[in-house]
Amino acid sequence: MVVVSTREFRQNLKKYLDLIDKNERVIIQRGNDKIYEISNTVKNDRFFDDPVIQERLAKSIESYNEGKTVKLTDDQLKELLGI
């Protein structure tokens, strides 16, 4: 396991991605209260493991491919996202 700062990670991105590819555990510490782990596999991810979410995503992609989309203005998008 390797623990690095965000600055170190950014400056040596290739090095740490190579370690991750070799199944090394890389932990990124951001400040005093935020910690991230990067993995080359997806485990227990609700978007990949939940069949209901998978079906919704498949339907959404199908709708997009059929041209069933709505274009939002920047203001509408901000309102939708609550920002």
Domain residue extents for the chain:
2-38, 46-81
Position 32 scores a pLDDT of 84
Overall average pLDDT of the 70-77 stretch: 92
Overall average pLDDT of the 15-33 stretch: 92
CATH numeric code, 2-38? 3.40.1620.10
**Amino acid at site 50:** D
Angle subtended at Cα 23 by Cα 20 and Cα 28, rounded to the nearest 5 degrees: 40
Token readout for 37 is 């782990």
Strands 34-38 and 26-30: antiparallel
Position 54 scores a pLDDT of 83
